[in-house]
A and B are shown apart, each in its own frame.
Chain A
Amino acid sequence: MLKVQQEQLSSLMDGEQYDQDTIDSILKDDELKQYWRRYHVARDIMQGRLDADYLTFDISDKVAQLIELEDLPEQPTVVEQTTLPTLSKLIWLKTKDVLAKLSQVGLAACVTLGVIGIVQYQSGASKANDIPVLNTVPIGVNLAPVGGVGNVNNYEQPLDTMSNQQYNKIRMLVQDYELQRRLNVQ
């Protein structure tokens, strides 16, 4: 019976057969509906028309069924909570509350301290290593190319860490500094 129906279903899908009775029987039978759906998915996949997320399992109705069936464990009753708490209980509740807050804040403070410590440690550690050194001829007693036209330092390329623009800017400012030192003699 089922086999025949499946064949009918298949031919209906392919458009070879249009029979009102077959359609009615399919609509009545849940199993055949599932087959109808499955065939379509299979066909679409074979023809590459389907997105990957189409293939997700439809488990919603299964889950709903399971939830209905499941017997939940005994819930605590509300009754005991509605009784008025004693004074000692109140104090206990309060201290518990305060302790909880304390521990939260304490934890936050610890985290803050830790972060500060790490930052300090890292900044301390990086101090010594990460100093790119500008590689120019020290002017000192050198006759500095203060005139601006000079290309005394041009044979020394700046390090990669510094762009040409920054290098030129700093060189110009060093020249200005050296010039000002010479101009401002008393």
Chain B
Amino acid sequence: MIQTHFFSDFNNTSRLSLRQYFNRVKILGFFFFLSCFISFLCYADNSNLAFSETINSSVETSSPLLIDRSAVKLLNKMKASVLDNDYKLYFIVQDEDEYPNSYQYTYVGSKINKKGALLSLEGSAKEIILNDNIVSYFLIDSASFSIAANRIIEVFPDVIYSDFDSLIPNYDFINLGKGRVANRSCQLIRIISKDKDRYSYVIWIDDENFLPLRIDLLDLNSKIINQKKVLVVDFDFNKQKFEDYIADRVYPILYPIDKEDSDRKDWQVTWLPKGFKRIDTYNINFQESNIDTQHFTDGIFSFTINVSKRTQYDKVNLSIQGDRSIYSYNQGNLNIIIIGNLPAETIKQIAYHLKFK
């Protein structure tokens, strides 16, 4: 009974079935595309969410009016002063939610062979010495070593030594007015990326000798996450005694830097924050496996992307330590770890835009 019913119905409509069939296909197709489009929109919206949030949450918006040539000039003066003057600084460094540490930094930059010495004033007497374009780390609780470098980045961050003119396309330099630190009058300059996808610096520059006397690193909410503050500036220290001290030290061996070329060609970066360039590609051996590493920098901030075969131990992990963000995640049979002094949102954006073959 039921079967015959069904067949009779089918016979009835069979004359129209072709047109109807096409109609159905059209409608179905339309809705399929519509739902695809909607889901795509939702997806795109989701992926951009973190990013748009960071843009909205950054405190100051800059207009072209704020690009201040005088600020760039002042920063260039500061860089020259840091590199070419002789000075002795006592300063403290403080991370967010940490106790400050105190340091003494002596530097002779007026000669061709620039010499510098950073001494930790509390805890173990760790020392970092710059001499003859070699930086030696005298560590108390681990082995000492030397590397080839022309400055001690523990004293002033990379931003101090930047080529500020080349940063103009990607950064705003904003004059924030006057301040006072170490009993000296200072000019405050804020260095902030135009895309608001990086941390920003506020540098306090001495009005007379142009040394940076206070350097604040601010997160995207303009909260200070790291601060270096000079307490005493001394230009009249005994330079001869300092140079003798540097000359008499026994230096640890140069850390061997033998980089293996990377052999992986199965991934690439498709998005970088503006101004970032790849400066290095190499291979790291870790527990009999190869980690393919690429190193990027924009002159102020830097990060590495490390790609290796995924193991059972690799889990998704995001950690933020001071200004450093570490993001580990898995893609197929690969594990990717991105480390850099960038906000976690930016690190995630970079990760999201990695392309795998």
Contacts and interface: CB of A to CB of B under 8 A. Distances in A.
Interface string A31-58: 0000000000000000000000000000
B189 interface: no
B142 A145 contact: yes
Contacts of B12: 81, 85
Interface stretch (A3-11, A61-69, A168-176): A168-176
Nearest to B31: A105
Nearest to A72: B1
B105 to A, nearest CB: 11
Contact of B103 (A78, A141, A152): A141
A141 B4 contact: no
A134 B27 CA distance: 53
B324 A138 contact: yes
Interface residues of A, number: 65
B154 A141 contact: yes
B321 A108 contact: no
Contacts of B318: 131-132
B46 interface: yes
Given A105-B27, A141-B228, 10 more contacts: A85-B12, A105-B28, A116-B43, A132-B317, A143-B126, A147-B144, A149-B142, A170-B339, A181-B302, A182-B135
A76 interface: yes
B120 A75 contact: no
A109 B71 CA distance: 56
Contacts of B323: 140
B293 interface: yes
B326 A81 contact: no
A177 interface: yes
Interface stretch (A13-21, A22-30, A95-103): A95-103
Contacts of B293: 173, 176
Interface string B1-45: 100110011001100100010011001100110110011001100
Contacts of A176: 284, 293, 304
A151 interface: yes
Contact of B326 (A116, A134, A146, A183): A134
A185 B157 CA distance: 10
B326 A170 contact: yes
Given A109-B34, A147-B143, A166 B328 contact: yes
A180 B150 contact: no
B297 to A, nearest CB: 7
A141 B286 contact: no
A177 B321 contact: no
Interface in A127-154: 127, 131-134, 136, 138-143, 145-152
A177 B304 contact: yes
Contact of B148 (A127, A139, A164, A183): A183
A179 B153 CA distance: 11
B176 interface: no
B320 interface: yes
A88 interface: no
B99 to A, nearest CB: 12
A140 B322 contact: yes
A26 to B, nearest CB: 44
Interface in B125-171: 126, 128, 135, 137, 139, 141-145, 147-151, 153-154, 158, 161, 163
25 contacts: A78-B4, A78-B5, A81-B12, A82-B8, A101-B27, A109-B31, A124-B49, A127-B50, A132-B318, A134-B321, A139-B321, A140-B93, A140-B322, A143-B137, A146-B137, A149-B142, A166-B315, A172-B286, A173-B293, A173-B339, A176-B304, A179-B147, A180-B295, A181-B153, A185-B151
A138 B95 contact: yes
A146 B38 contact: no
B317 A177 contact: no
Nearest to B299: A186
A76 B5 contact: yes
Nearest to B337: A173
A173 B147 contact: no
Contacts of A172: 284, 286
B291 A150 contact: no
Contact of A169 (B145, B153, B286, B324): B286
B313 interface: yes
Interface in B109-136: 120, 126, 128, 135
A97 B9 CA distance: 13
A180 B259 CA distance: 11
A101 B151 CA distance: 72
